[in-house]
Structure 1
Amino acid sequence: MTPAAGDDARGGELEIGGIIAAEPSDLLTRSAFQRDLASQVALHEYVSLADIAHTLVLCEQGVTPADDAKELLAALLQLHQQIDSFEVDAAGGDLYTNREAWLAGRSAATGWLGYGRARREPITTGFHIVVLLHALELTEALGATAGVIAKVAKAHRNSIFVEHTYLQIAQPTTFGHYLLGFAYPLLRSAERLREFLARFDICPAGIGATNGSPVPQHRGLQASYLGFAAPAPHCRDAMWLADLPLEMASSCVATAIALDRLAEDLMVHCSSESGYVTLSDRHCRASKIMPQKRNPFALAYARAEANKAIGIQASLAAAARTPSGSMDNRLDAYADVPESARRVTQVVKLIGEVCGELQYEERRARLMLAEKSACAADLAANLSRHTGISYRRSYRIVGDVISRCARNGSSLRKLGGDELWTALCDAVDVEQEGVDREAVQRAIDESFDLDTCIAARSDVGGAGLGAMQEMLGEVRSAAAAHQRWARGELAARRGAFKRLLRRATDLVD
């Protein structure tokens, strides 16, 4: 096992004996140092790549002595191979100084590691890389889950469903149209992430501290070796920016809430009281006391993760409210932004799996629609269309009929044309307005046939089959495009990392 940061080198790496004369107290070490270090550990692989790129570029460009640079590169490559077993110690400071202590115990050339740069530079560079990778993985997952939703929606594009508003039966629709509506927020999240990635794909390597480095850093070359689109345009902004981590956290929140809204709905729809949906056993958990229970644990988990993402975003916003050059606005961001993205990505994949394996119970939906109250809006609209009376008047007529039904314990389903005709006659001057009974009957027939109701929604975005086919094609195409793009970007970045390591290895050899 690789030894922890050595005690012999610790004082040097913490710069004890200069402006700081005493070692940090045990309490400072166990609290602030430990927390700072813990937030950086997940960045280690990419901090290591940043150190390798820095050392390699400065060697290639003749900024550092060639022999020392090669010796340091050899030690860095050795450490890179041992990241998984590397033991950090808060007494050794942050991740950078822990690494520096390990290197100092093996190479006298370690003094060149920090040439012209602050410790936060490689850590911030590693942070950028990790966030970019997580954002790409989240984008890919969003495309995949949107594609699953589109596939299930296509299978149920003609399956009758009950549209609810305020948790009350509202109108007839199809399960496919209902479900497809949840793909669009996921596609928008993918679009937002791609826009974010274009802004965040800037490399902090070589920024020095705040106003640039007094040593030539060849920032464009470092950025290229690390797979970035370009170096960050302003050194101080790159070191301390707060808006872009917040933007990433916000994208996680928007995604988590979109998923939670579907999960909340499905939690209601799979209940015994609703019964429209049956979740796979693979996404439920049994009760240990009530043997009849199938708890939809996957859905509850989605809600819990949405709550967590909201909390992370709020804490990052609060932490960013500092003077601009303060480390505490990064203390949690290094860990929390990647962690939020990772957790939300898991939820995206899980909800995609849930949707792909659920069973829809159309018979239950048709039973709930049998009373025809959900057809009231269609009846009012069709009365207007066939009789020529205004929609507001027909709305009141239908509302009056439904009110009478409620008082009499009846329903629209149990009414015939006679009672609707009577209600219409009570409300309008039939002879003067030229309203005939056949027109009323046509309105009734069209309104109470569920398939006809749905087919009438033929305009853009509606539940009609033609509109659904267009939306399904759009969603499938966009979902696949996001997946392809994210996979390509991930492959390109991983390829850049491999080329960097190969280039460094070739130089050492």
Structure 2
Amino acid sequence: MALWGGRFTADSSNMFKQVNDSLNFDQAMATQDIQGSIAWAKALYQAGVLSEQEQQQLHSALEDMLTQAQSGALDFAASTEEDIHSFVEAELIEQLGDVGRKLHTGRSRNDQVATDFRLWVKTHVLSLKQDLVQLRRTLLNTASRYQHSILPGYTHLQRAQPIVFGHWCLAYVEMFKRDASRLDDLLVRMDQCPLGSGALAGTTYPVNREVLANELGFASPTLNSLDAVSDRDFVLELLFTASTSMMHLSRLAEDLIFYNSGEAGFIQLGDSVTSGSSLMPQKKNPDALELMRGKCGRVFGALQALLVTMKGLPLAYNKDMQEDKEGAMDTVNQWHCCLCMADEVLQSVTLNEDRCREAAMKGYANATELADYLVGKGIPFRTAHDISGQIVVAAINQDKPIEALPLSELQTLCADIDDDVYAVLNVEYGINKRNNIGGTSFKTVTEALYRELEKMDSEEG
């Protein structure tokens, strides 16, 4: 019989059970549910509800069940229970009889599931933070390997200005640092324990909620029972952070897909992260990157789905909120897989340095340096910009780079140009001039790289 079956004279229909039951997915919270039950049994003993012997019996049985849960030995497939809470309680009743029936005193599945899911999210946030650390480490290693390699930088997918490949790597380091900081923020805001809030109005038993929260690793108890059982902000924040990070991963994938294309040819990807064509023998497709890019949709969808679910719910708990778990659990899995996949892809990357440098020297990317050179001659920037544009047109008409134009021709467009202009038009010159904080000069990139490596060593130490 269901935990709530006393009020009913007929069993649930098979269709209702199919829609209502959640054990097939909330069994993922078995460890957290058992941990919460261990703490609740102790709180009931301290409140005088359970005898010492009863608390010890419950504790021993729950510890055995926890060991089974952690080893994967619990047999969920054979169970007809509605959810993980019913499953755990049914197991206790089978072992302990009426003592098992006492565990749910003063507790509701509403505060129970809110606690379980917070514990589950906390556990996975810590794991995801490690994934982000590993990916940042690999990006830094890649930046170190190619910190002096030149690459064309793009705006509007057109060659804009030369950059250092290490600078490109460090841009993604910044993104994934922000993702990790959002997880840190989430942990702070969700670090309150709902257990003891009851169904919606609190519990009538003298449970010490401060001690209970501490027992479960929370900083404090929640302060409003209505909010505690109906709050899913922590899930939304997790989904938003995952969506933002997946967006970053998708941008990383898009860059690498383009760099790997035959049109660019800047990198080669390892065989272990690419696949072939069933028809065209020559193909080597960046499927890992394309799947990373594609999985954004399902993660974004989970965020939108929960927002829509929550936006019309009155206080307090409503069964609609059972829809919070499958999307979040799938999101955590997809995010984890994509972070690990990105790490593997980056480790497999080989940079075609000659091709990158050649591309960086094309596309008139040194036109900005020419304009800055003219500013140094006392010409107002807007005028210098116009002159530089005219010189680019002249070079395009002759199908030559700017630096291949003779001095005499340059001087017909601007008499202030001298032969020192050719040093300015060198690709390294433009890179090294950008030596302010955040710039792409070799010196700045090297300093940023070692600063990030030291920071990571400090964090991990």
The alignment's TM-score, normalised by the length of structure 2, stands at 0.93
Structure 1, unmatched stretches of 5+, are: 1-9, 426-434, 485-509
CA distance in 2, matches of 1:329, 1:17: 23
- 1:212-227 equivalences in 2 (<5 Å): 212-227=202-217
The offset of 1:166, in angstroms, is: 1.4
The offset of 1:135, in angstroms, is: 0.9
> Would you say the 8 A contact 1:147–1:480 is kept in 2?
no
The offset of 1:174, in angstroms, is: 1.0
> Would you say the 8 A contact 1:116–1:213 is kept in 2?
yes
User: For residues 89 and 117 of structure 1, do their structure 2 counterparts lie closer, same or farther at Cα, with a shift above 3 Å needed?
Assistant: farther
> Would you say the 8 A contact 2:192–2:218 is kept in 1?
yes
> Would you say the 8 A contact 2:27–2:76 is kept in 1?
no
Matched, 1:373 2:373: no
Match of 2:194 in 1: 204
> Would you say the 8 A contact 2:164–2:442 is kept in 1?
no
The offset of 1:295, in angstroms, is: 1.0
Among 421, 445, 452, the residue aligned to 2:429: 452
The offset of 1:365, in angstroms, is: 1.4
Match of 1:285 in 2: 275
Q: How many residues align?
A: 456
Q: Secondary structure at the match of 1:247?
A: helix
Matched, 1:43 2:29: yes
The offset of 1:447, in angstroms, is: 2.8
> Would you say the 8 A contact 1:285–1:295 is kept in 2?
yes
Match of 1:63 in 2: 49
Match of 1:335 in 2: 326
User: For residues 299 and 483 of structure 1, do their structure 2 counterparts lie closer, same or farther at Cα, with a shift above 3 Å needed?
Assistant: farther
Match of 2:128 in 1: 138
Matched, 1:461 2:461: no
Matched, 1:186 2:176: yes
What does the per-residue CA deviation read over 1:184-219, in whole Å, with 9 as the maximum and x for residues that have no partner? 010011111111111112222222222211012222
Matched, 1:228 2:218: yes
Among 328, 336, 342, the residue aligned to 1:345: 336
The offset of 1:232, in angstroms, is: 2.2
Task: Give the residue type in structure 2 aligned to 1:447.
Answer: V
Among 108, 113, 116, the residue aligned to 2:106: 116
- 1:46-445 equivalences in 2 (<5 Å): 46-83=32-69, 84=72, 85-87=74-76, 91-108=80-97, 109-321=99-311, 322-371=313-362, 373-385=364-376, 387-425=377-415, 435=416, 437-438=417-418, 441-442=419-420, 444-445=421-422
Structure 2, unmatched stretches of 5+, are: none
Task: Give the residue type in structure 2 aligned to 1:106.
Answer: Q
The offset of 1:451, in angstroms, is: 1.3
Greater than 6 Å deviation, 4+ residue runs: none
**Bigger RCO of structures 1 and 2 (CA < 8 A, at least 6 apart):** 1
Q: Percent identity?
A: 26
CA distance in 2, matches of 1:268, 1:314: 29
- The alignment's C-alpha RMSD in Å is 2.0
User: For residues 158 and 471 of structure 1, do their structure 2 counterparts lie closer, same or farther at Cα, with a shift above 3 Å needed?
Assistant: same
CA distance in 1, matches of 2:138, 2:181: 18
The offset of 1:265, in angstroms, is: 0.3
The offset of 1:303, in angstroms, is: 0.8
Q: Secondary structure at the match of 1:162?
A: strand
> Would you say the 8 A contact 1:319–1:328 is kept in 2?
no
> Would you say the 8 A contact 1:455–1:464 is kept in 2?
yes
Q: Secondary structure at the match of 1:171?
A: strand
> Would you say the 8 A contact 2:47–2:206 is kept in 1?
no
Task: Give the residue type in structure 1 aligned to 2:285.
Answer: N
